[in-house]
Amino acid sequence: MSQHRPTGPNGRPGGVPALPDLPEATVARLPEYLRALHHIAETGNDTISSEGLAAAAGVNSAKLRKDLSHLGSYGTRGVGYDVALLIDQIEFTLGLDQRRAVALVGVGNLGHALAGYAGFASRGFRIAALFDADQARVGEPINGLDVRHISELAEVAAAESIAIGVIATPAAAAQDVADALVAAGVTSILNFAPCVLSVPEGVDVRKVDLAIELQILSFHEHRKSALTSLPGGLAEEAVGT
Amino acid sequence: MSQHRPTGPNGRPGGVPALPDLPEATVARLPEYLRALHHIAETGNDTISSEGLAAAAGVNSAKLRKDLSHLGSYGTRGVGYDVALLIDQIEFTLGLDQRRAVALVGVGNLGHALAGYAGFASRGFRIAALFDADQARVGEPINGLDVRHISELAEVAAAESIAIGVIATPAAAAQDVADALVAAGVTSILNFAPCVLSVPEGVDVRKVDLAIELQILSFHEHRKSALTSLPGGLAEEAVGT
DNA sequence: AGGCGCTTGTGAACTCGTGCACAAATCGCG
DNA sequence: CGCGATTTGTGCACGAGTTCACAAGCGCCT
Ligand SMILES: NC(=O)c1ccc[n+]([C@@H]2O[C@H](COP(=O)([O-])OP(=O)(O)OC[C@H]3O[C@@H](n4cnc5c(N)ncnc54)[C@H](O)[C@@H]3O)[C@@H](O)[C@H]2O)c1
Ligand SMILES: NC(=O)c1ccc[n+]([C@@H]2O[C@H](COP(=O)([O-])OP(=O)(O)OC[C@H]3O[C@@H](n4cnc5c(N)ncnc54)[C@H](O)[C@@H]3O)[C@@H](O)[C@H]2O)c1
C-alpha cells in the first residue's frame, strides 16, 4: 500500500517520496477523513463523493476537495473517490504505512486508561513500552506489557525504535520526562500534563488539555446565557477545534 | 477595540455583561494564559510583563498583548499586568466566575480516569453526576459520587443545572448519548469518542481524539525522516495545536 | 458517437489570524 | 518637574485558511 505510484499522470516520480508540504490545517483533518473512510469501507461502499465524505467527516465539501487535491488527484470526476485507494494515500501521507512504536510515561490514573486503549492499535500505533518513576508500579503488567522504570527509557527506546512519546505524569514532572524522552531519541511528544514544554528544535509537541477544552465550552456557555437576555437569539454550531 | 467600558478603571460596567465578541483563536488561548497566571501567582509575583507571561504560556508576546487587549485595557504601560486582576478578568470572560456543573457519561476505562481527575475541580468545574448504561456499574461509588443509570440523565441534569456534558462511551453509542444530553438541556459537549456528532444549532461540541493527535505527529515524523535523506536538514518546533 | 448529468479540481475573492514595529502611557529617579 | 527607561496597546502588512463558483473531465444512456 505504501508505494503505488508508477509515475502516472499525477503519481510522484521515481523514488522521490514527494513531500507536498501540506498546509497544517489539512494535516489535522486527514485523520478525520481517514476515520470516515474506514467507516464507509466497512459499510461496503467502494466509492464516495466529496459531498458524502465531507458529511461523514463533518466538514465542508469544498474544503475536503481542496485538502485531498494537495495529495494528488485521486478522484474521478463524475464518480467520486475510490475508498480503498484514498485510504492508502492518506495512510501513506500520514506515515502510517509503518506501525509506529509509542512510549507511554506515567502509568497513573490516566496512563492506565491509555495503556488499555484499543484505539491505539487500530489506528496505526503500537504501545511499545510503559514507564513510571514509582517503584511500586514497576513490574505491574498492563495489557500484556510490564511497567518499566523510567531509568530504562533510553535503552528501551533505542531497542524498540521509539520515536513518539506520550506524557501522562503530573505537570511537575513533565518537563523532566520530556527531556528524558528527547535524550532517548524521541522526536514527537504528546503531552497530557497541563504545562508548557520546552524542547529542542526538531522535536514536535502536541498537547491535550481537558480543562482547556472545558473552559472554551464554558466561554460559549457564558456567551449563550448572556445572549438569551437579549432579543436576537443567535447561536452557532460546533465550535472549531 | 470593540467596547471600552466607561465605568471604573477595571470594574465591569454596571449590569451589562459586555460581550466583546472575542476571536475564537483568542478564546482558545485564554485558558493557557490563565494557567500560566495561576502558576505565576503561586510564585509570589503580583505583576507580570507581557513578555514574561508570553514565555510562561508558550506564545509570542505580541499575540498575547493583542489577545488581552480584546478583554479591555488591564495592563499598565511601563509595568505590566496585575496578576490577580488579570486572573479575575480572564475567569470572568471564560464564565468561570460560576463553578459549572458537568455530567460525565460512560464510566469505563477512560471515564474512570476522568471521574477521578482533580484538575476538573481546580480549574472551575464540578463533576455533578456520572452516568452509564451498564447496570453492573450503576451504584458504583467513584470519588464520592455514585454512578447513575443513563435513564436518569434528564432528571439529574435539571436538578443540578448541568449545561456541559462529557461523552466517554464507545463511538457507537456517542450519537445516542449526545441526543440524550441535548434532550436533557445540555448545550455544550466534550466528546472523547472518535466520531462526528450531529447536534442542533446552539449546541457546541468539542472533541478530543488521541489517535488524531498521534497521527498528526506521525505525519511530522514521516516528514522528518524523509528530510534526513536530503541535504538541508530543516526542522520546526512545536506543531500548532 | 454524441450529448447530458454529475463530480472533481482549482482560480480567485474573502475572512481570519499573526507578528512587526512604533506611538502612547506610565514609573522612577535625579 | 522633566527625562529616560520600560512596557503596553494597536495600526498595518502579510500569510494562512476558507468558501464560492465554475470549467474540465468522466461515465452512462440513447
Ligand atoms: N486523569 C485524567 O483524567 C486526566 C485528564 C486530563 C489530564 N490529566 C493529566 O494527566 C497527568 C496524569 O494524570 P493522572 O490522573 O494519571 O495522575 P496520577 O498521579 O494518577 O499518575 C501520574 C503517574 O506518573 C508517575 N510519575 C510521576 N513522576 C514521574 C516521572 N518523573 N517519571 C515517570 N513517571 C512519573 C507517577 O508515579 C504516577 O503513576 C496529569 O498531568 C494530569 O493533569 C489527567
Ligand atoms: N481509554 C482511552 O484511553 C481512550 C482514549 C481516547 C479515546 N477513548 C475513547 O473514549 C471512549 C471510551 O473509552 P473507554 O476505553 O473508556 O471504553 P470502555 O468500553 O471502557 O467504556 C465505555 C463505557 O461506556 C458505557 N456505555 C456504553 N454505551 C453507553 C450508553 N449508551 N450510555 C451510557 N454509557 C454507555 C459502557 O457501559 C462503558 O462503561 C471510546 O469512544 C474510546 O474510543 C478512550
- A176: domain CATH number is 3.40.50.720
pLDDT at B229: 61
Least confident window among A46-60, A138-152, A218-232, B136-150 = A218-232
Locate cell 499575540: which residue?
A: B63
Q: Is B12 contained in some domain?
A: no
What cell numbers appear for B181 in the block? 444530553
**Contact call for A24 and B207, based on CB within 8 A:** no
Binding positions of A for NAD(+) are 106-111
Q: Are residues B110 and B182 in the same domain?
A: yes
pLDDT at B21: 87
pLDDT band at B226 (very low <50, low <70, confident <90, very high): confident
Model pLDDT for residues B125-153, shown as the tens digit of each residue? 999 999 999 999 999 999 999 999 999 99
Distance CA A14, CA B133 (A): 54
CATH of the domain at A79: 1.10.10.10
Q: Is A133 contained in some domain?
A: yes
Distance CA A24, CA A88 (A): 20
Q: Are residues B165 and B201 in the same domain?
A: yes
Asked if the model's pLDDT at residue B228 lies above 70, the reply is no
Find the Å distance, CA of residue B65 to C1' of nucleotide C24. 15
pLDDT band at A18 (very low <50, low <70, confident <90, very high): low
Q: Are residues A136 and A53 in the same domain?
A: no
Radius of gyration of chain A (CA): 21
Q: Are residues A133 and A163 in the same domain?
A: yes
Q: Are residues A175 and A146 in the same domain?
A: yes
Q: Are residues B84 and B164 in the same domain?
A: no
Query: What spacing in Å lies between the alpha carbon of A45 and ligand 2's midpoint?
Result: 27
Q: Is B220 contained in some domain?
A: yes
Query: How does the average pLDDT of chain B come out, rounded?
Result: 89
Q: Are residues B29 and B71 in the same domain?
A: yes
DSSP B91: H
CB distance B220 to A188 below 8 Å = yes
Q: Are residues B134 and B69 in the same domain?
A: no
pLDDT band at B118 (very low <50, low <70, confident <90, very high): very high
Which DSSP helix (H) or strand (E) runs through B92?
A: helix B83-93
A208 to chain B, any CB pair closer than 8 A? The answer is: yes
Q: Are residues A119 and A68 in the same domain?
A: no
pLDDT at A239: 53
Q: Are residues A109 and A52 in the same domain?
A: no
Q: Are residues A154 and A133 in the same domain?
A: yes
pLDDT at B227: 67
Once rounded to an integer, what is the mean pLDDT over residues B198-211? 96
Residues 6+ apart with CB under 8 A from B127: B102, B103, B104, B115, B120, B121, B143, B145
Number of structural domains (chain B) is 3
pLDDT at B125: 97
Least confident window among A27-36, A215-224, B182-191, B231-240 = B231-240
pLDDT at A123: 96
Pocket test for ligand 1, best of A142, A156, A169, A191 (most atoms within 8 A of CB): A169
% of chain A surpassing 70 pLDDT: 85
Q: Are residues A202 and A103 in the same domain?
A: yes
Locate cell 494537495: which residue?
A: A70
The boundaries of the domain holding residue A54 are: 24-96
